[in-house]
Chains A and B, each alone.
Chain A
Amino acid sequence: MKKMLTAAVSRVLSGVTQKLASRVLVASCKYSNNATFEIKKCDLYRLEEGPPVTTVLTREDGLKYYKMMQTIRRMELKADQLYKQKFIRGFCHLCDGQEACCVGLEAGINPTDHVITSYRAHGLSYTRGLTVRSILAELTGRRAGCAKGKGGSMHMYAKNFYGGNGIVGAQGPLGAGVALACKYKGNNEVCLTLYGDGAANQGQISEAYNMAALWNLPCIFICENNRYGMGTSVERAAASTDYYKRGNFIPGLRVDGMDILCVREATKFAADYCRSGKGPILMELLTYRYHGHSMSDPGISYRTREEIQSVRSKSDPIMLLKDKMVNNQLASVEELKEIDVEVRKEIDDAAQFAMTDPEPPLEELGHHIYSSNPPFDIRGANQWIKFQSIS
Chain B
Amino acid sequence: MAVAAVLVRKPLEQVSGLLRRRFHRTAPAALQVTVREAINQGMDEELERDEKVFLLGEEVAQYDGAYKVSRGLWKKYGDKRIIDTPISEVSFPSGSRPWRGMSAGLRPICEFMTFNFSMQAIDQVINSAAKTYYMSGGLQSVPIVFRGPNGASAGVAAQHSQCFAAWYGHCPGLKVVSPWSSEDAKGLIKSAIRDNNPVVVLENELMYGVPFELPSEAQSKDFLIPIGKAKIERQGTHVTIVAHSRPVGHCLEAATVLSKEGIECEVINLRTIRPMDIETIEGSVMKTNHLVTVEGGWPQFGVGAEICARIMEGPAFNFLDAPAVRVTGADVPMPYAKILEDNSVPQVKDIIFAIKKTLNI
Residues of A within 8 A of B (CB): 89-91, 138, 141-142, 145, 147, 149-155, 165-169, 198-199, 201-204, 229-232, 236-238, 301-302, 359-360, 362, 364-366, 369, 378-385, 387
CA distance A209 to B345 in the complex (A): 39
Cβ–Cβ < 8 Å partners of B155 in chain A: 89-91, 141, 152
Interface membership of B344, Cβ < 8 A: yes
Known contacts: A91-B156, A168-B117, A382-B354. The answer to whether A238 contacts B339 by CB under 8 A is no
How many residues does chain B have at the interface if contact means C-beta atoms less than 8 Å apart? 48
Cβ–Cβ < 8 Å partners of B157 in chain A: 90-91, 151-155, 166
List residues of B (117-176) whose CB comes within 8 Å of A's CBs.
117, 119-120, 153-160
A-B contact count (CB 8 A): 162
Q: Which of B325, B331, B347, B354 lies at the interface centre, i.e. has the most chain A CB atoms within 10 A of its CB?
A: B331
Cβ–Cβ < 8 Å partners of B357 in chain A: 382, 384
Known contacts: A166-B160, A231-B59. The answer to whether A236 contacts B84 by CB under 8 A is yes
Interface membership of B108, Cβ < 8 A: no
CA distance A365 to B160 in the complex (A): 18
Contact B328 A382 (CB under 8 A): yes
- Closest Cβ of chain B to A242, distance in Å, is 15
CA distance A306 to B331 in the complex (A): 48
Contact A364 B340 (CB under 8 A): yes
Given A152, A237, A360, A366, which contacts B86 in the complex, CB threshold below 8 Å?
A237
19 contacts between A and B (CB under 8 A): A90-B155, A150-B336, A153-B336, A169-B87, A198-B87, A199-B87, A201-B88, A229-B87, A230-B58, A238-B86, A360-B339, A362-B340, A380-B350, A381-B328, A381-B345, A381-B346, A382-B328, A382-B350, A383-B326
Cβ–Cβ < 8 Å partners of B354 in chain A: 382, 384
Cβ–Cβ < 8 Å partners of B117 in chain A: 167-168
Known contacts: A365-B344, A382-B325, A382-B353. The answer to whether A232 contacts B86 by CB under 8 A is yes
4 tightest A-B contacts by CB?
A: A90-B155, A89-B155, A152-B336, A166-B159
Interface membership of B257, Cβ < 8 A: no
Cβ–Cβ < 8 Å partners of A145 in chain B: 337
Contact A230 B63 (CB under 8 A): yes
- Closest Cβ of chain A to B209, distance in Å, is 13
- Closest Cβ of chain A to B87, distance in Å, is 5
- Closest Cβ of chain A to B166, distance in Å, is 15
Contact A155 B159 (CB under 8 A): yes
Q: Which of B84, B116, B332 lies at the interface centre, i.e. has the most chain A CB atoms within 10 A of its CB?
A: B332
Contact A369 B332 (CB under 8 A): yes
List residues of B (66-87) whose CB comes within 8 Å of A's CBs.
66, 84, 86-87
Contact B353 A202 (CB under 8 A): no
- Closest Cβ of chain A to B342, distance in Å, is 9
CA distance A378 to B331 in the complex (A): 6
| Per-residue interface assignment for chain B, residues 318 to 361, with 1 indicating a CB less than 8 Å from any chain A CB and 0 otherwise | 00000001111111110111111001111100100110010000
Contact A362 B343 (CB under 8 A): yes
* B contact face: mostly helix, strand, loop, or mixed: loop
CA distance A231 to B327 in the complex (A): 38
| Per-residue interface assignment for chain B, residues 198 to 231, with 1 indicating a CB less than 8 Å from any chain A CB and 0 otherwise | 0000000000000000000000000000000000
- Known pairs A141-B337, A153-B336, A166-B157. 11 more at Cβ < 8 A? A145-B337, A149-B335, A150-B337, A152-B155, A155-B336, A232-B84, A360-B335, A365-B330, A381-B328, A384-B354, A385-B350
Given B153, B338, B343, which contacts A380 in the complex, CB threshold below 8 Å?
B343
Known contacts: A91-B160, A365-B330, A381-B345. The answer to whether A232 contacts B335 by CB under 8 A is no
Cβ–Cβ < 8 Å partners of B249 in chain A: none
Interface membership of B299, Cβ < 8 A: yes
Interface membership of B196, Cβ < 8 A: no
Interface membership of B258, Cβ < 8 A: no
Interface membership of B280, Cβ < 8 A: no
CA distance A87 to B358 in the complex (A): 39
Interface membership of B312, Cβ < 8 A: no
Cβ–Cβ < 8 Å partners of B339 in chain A: 359-360, 362
CA distance A155 to B336 in the complex (A): 9
Given B91, B156, B160, B347, which contacts A381 in the complex, CB threshold below 8 Å?
B347
Interface membership of B90, Cβ < 8 A: yes
Contact B87 A365 (CB under 8 A): no
- Closest Cβ of chain A to B293, distance in Å, is 10
Cβ–Cβ < 8 Å partners of A231 in chain B: 59, 62-63
Contact A154 B159 (CB under 8 A): yes
Q: Which of A150, A167, A204, A369 lies at the interface centre, i.e. has the most chain B CB atoms within 10 A of its CB?
A: A150
Cβ–Cβ < 8 Å partners of A165 in chain B: 159
Contact B330 A150 (CB under 8 A): no
- Closest Cβ of chain B to A68, distance in Å, is 26
Closest B residue, CB atoms, query A196: B87
Contact A230 B330 (CB under 8 A): no
Cβ–Cβ < 8 Å partners of A151 in chain B: 157-158, 336
Cβ–Cβ < 8 Å partners of B154 in chain A: 89-90
Known contacts: A89-B154, A150-B335, A232-B59. The answer to whether A365 contacts B340 by CB under 8 A is yes
CA distance A142 to B336 in the complex (A): 9
Contact B338 A141 (CB under 8 A): yes
Cβ–Cβ < 8 Å partners of B330 in chain A: 365-366, 378-381, 385, 387
Q: Which of A91, A201, A238, A381 lies at the interface centre, i.e. has the most chain B CB atoms within 10 A of its CB?
A: A381
Known contacts: A166-B159, A203-B88, A237-B87. The answer to whether A141 contacts B336 by CB under 8 A is yes
- Closest Cβ of chain B to A369, distance in Å, is 6
- Closest Cβ of chain A to B185, distance in Å, is 21
